[in-house]
């Protein structure tokens, strides 16, 4: 398959054959001849070798060697993202910290600085006793907010051996491996809940149609999972594929990363599926790289307490947001898993994007002017909030409605923020003409 870890000096922007215009359903698209080359494949930032497999081990889904591995072999390539808004007093087995879980020579980085991981790094067993058989080798080519990592074998590893990295011995409070395949009655309840939320979402925006649920796709995915025909996380093998239809690369236009289709994908087809893990004690209004994980699929009200947050494995951290998107993300809360489905036919080399559900209320998204919002400002503003914010004099009209110049959105952390209105409430760099010099904050997630 070529060396996925080779270096390649290519100006990606020169190989784009399409950039989206305003409201266009097509996304950034590479020339397919270039996209199929070894030079382009070598730019993959998230990759797990096919010598790795996942097993249920004592109720947890952990990684094992499927075949023998030589000392020094790179078994995974991934990315860690700095995670703000954590309560350090709350144990977090899926948060990696500088000094405890990895070290980075030659780079100034605060001791115990917290990071969340893409790929499969959440699924290595960890040990504080120096008996690890794999090591995280870090680099910071883009600064300390985004660390790139190679997982390297420290010794020869025999087939069937559990992978162990260094790390604090923090207990895991959910038997994720035991709840992965949701019972049929739980799946039915989840589908009914999600369908109801879709109807509510459509009713909140004038002229919006109810989203397609892709129910049969979800049901078939669970049927295959229960029959053992697909594995929870097998990233790069031809059987049990979870994410080999998608490649994480540096974005050709914006800072950060993007995800691009490695094959032609049909409408209704699963693009990627994978696992989520709970990140406890987090303020998701500050950290954009995690996902809302409330069991009813909705933002919690103030009296209901803080929202629950989770981090996804595989490539899911790096999908950018757009409206209209070409993909739809389903979060199956009871099974701690996700399924990303194509909303339309997608060509090889085209960027894969979904619309972030919390873009209209989550502080780190609300304050990002470039991020498409699920609802226009007049729907999510103070006029529709149970607790009224102080109003200032209107400074701009959006669709004929005045927007206050003082904070007008109440977040779940109890803070009021200003919605930063723009002339067009749905404009975003992902929808702007190619001549626009603007760029989004980065690859942010719901």
Residue 203 confidence (pLDDT) above 70:
yes
- Which DSSP string corresponds to 103-152? --TTS---TT-EEEE-BTGGGSEEESSS--SEEEEEE-TT-TTEEEEEEE
Average pLDDT over residues 371-378: 58
CA dist., res. 375 & res. 207, Å (int): 12
- State CA 136 to chain mean position distance: 21
User: Which range among 121-125, 185-189, 220-224, 424-428 shows the weakest confidence by mean pLDDT?
Assistant: 424-428
CA dist., res. 79 & res. 152, Å (int): 14
The per-residue pLDDT for 156 is 98
Question: Which single residue is written with the structure tokens 């049901």?
Answer: 219
- pLDDT band with cut points at 50, 70 and 90 for residue 421: very low
User: Which range among 24-33, 112-121, 291-300, 413-422 shows the weakest confidence by mean pLDDT?
Assistant: 413-422
Counted residue by residue, the chain has a size of 446
CA dist., res. 424 & res. 178, Å (int): 47
Name which residue leads in pLDDT, 400 or 238: 400
The 8-class DSSP code of residue 307 comes to: P
SS3 for 218?
A: helix
**pLDDT tens digits, one per residue of 144-172:** 999 999 999 999 999 999 999 999 989 99
Question: Which single residue is written with the structure tokens 């499969």?
Answer: 120
The per-residue pLDDT for 27 is 94
User: Which range among 49-53, 99-103, 211-215, 392-396 shows the weakest confidence by mean pLDDT?
Assistant: 392-396
Average pLDDT over residues 63-67: 95
Q: Which CATH superfamily includes the segment(s) 47-168?
A: SET domain (2.170.270.10)
Q: Between β-strands 134-139 and 246-250, what pairing exists: parallel, antiparallel or unpaired?
A: unpaired
Residue 224 confidence (pLDDT) above 90:
yes
The per-residue pLDDT for 427 is 31
**pLDDT tens digits, one per residue of 94-151:** 999 999 999 998 899 999 999 999 999 999 999 998 899 999 999 999 899 999 999 9
What mean pLDDT is reported for the chain?
83
Residue 379 confidence (pLDDT) above 90:
no
CA dist., res. 339 & res. 273, Å (int): 4
Average pLDDT over residues 218-226: 96
Q: Is the separation of the CB atoms in 92 and 172 below 8 Å?
A: no
The per-residue pLDDT for 304 is 85
The per-residue pLDDT for 234 is 54
Residue 251 confidence (pLDDT) above 70:
yes
Q: Residue 320 class from Cβ within 10 Å (0-12 exposed, 13-18 middle, 19+ buried)?
A: buried
Average pLDDT over residues 198-204: 91
């Amino acid at each position: 398959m070529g060396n996925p870890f080779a270096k390649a000096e290519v100006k990606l922007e020169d190989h784009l054959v399409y950039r989206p215009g305003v409201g266009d359903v097509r996304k950034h698209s590479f020339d397919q001849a270039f996209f199929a080359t070894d030079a382009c494949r070598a730019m993959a930032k998230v990759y797990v070798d096919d010598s790795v497999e996942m097993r249920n081990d004592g109720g947890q889904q952990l990684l094992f060697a499927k075949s023998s591995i030589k000392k020094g072999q790179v078994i995974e390539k991934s990315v860690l993202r700095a995670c703000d808004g954590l309560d350090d007093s709350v144990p977090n087995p899926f948060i990696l910290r500088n000094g405890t879980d990895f070290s980075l020579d030659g780079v100034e980085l605060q001791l115990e600085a917290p990071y969340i991981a893409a790929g499969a790094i959440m699924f290595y067993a960890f040990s504080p006793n120096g008996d690890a058989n794999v090591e995280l080798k870090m680099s910071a080519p883009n600064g300390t907010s985004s660390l790139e990592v190679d997982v390297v074998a420290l010794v020869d590893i025999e087939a069937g051996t559990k992978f162990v990295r260094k790390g604090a011995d923090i207990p895991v409070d959910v038997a994720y491996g035991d709840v992965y395949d949701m019972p049929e009655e739980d799946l039915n309840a989840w589908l009914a809940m999600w369908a109801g939320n879709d109807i509510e979402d459509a009713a909140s925006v004038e002229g919006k149609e109810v989203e397609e649920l892709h129910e049969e796709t979800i049901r078939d995915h669970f049927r295959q999972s229960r029959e053992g025909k697909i594995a929870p996380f097998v990233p790069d093998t031809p059987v049990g594929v979870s994410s080999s239809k998608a490649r994480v690369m540096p974005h050709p236009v914006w800072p950060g990363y993007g995800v691009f289709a490695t094959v032609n994908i049909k409408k209704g087809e699963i693009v990627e599926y994978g696992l989520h893990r709970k990140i406890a004690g987090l303020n998701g209004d500050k950290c954009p790289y995690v996902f809302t994980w409330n069991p009813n699929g909705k933002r919690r009200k103030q009296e209901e307490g803080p929202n629950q947050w989770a981090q996804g494995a595989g490539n899911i951290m790096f999908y950018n947001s757009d409206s209209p998107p070409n993909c739809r993300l389903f979060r199956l809360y009871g099974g701690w898993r996700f399924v990303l489905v194509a909303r339309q036919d997608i060509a090889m080399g085209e960027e894969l994007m979904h619309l972030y559900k919390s873009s209209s209320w989550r502080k780190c998204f609300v304050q990002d002017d470039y991020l498409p919002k699920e609802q226009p400002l007049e729907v999510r503003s103070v006029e529709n909030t149970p607790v009224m914010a102080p109003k200032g004099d209107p400074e701009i009209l959006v669709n004929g409605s005045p927007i206050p110049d003082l904070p007008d959105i109440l977040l779940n952390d109890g803070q009021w923020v200003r919605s930063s209105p723009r002339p067009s409430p749905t404009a975003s760099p992902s929808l702007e003409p190619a001549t626009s010099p603007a760029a989004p904050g980065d690859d942010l997630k719901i």
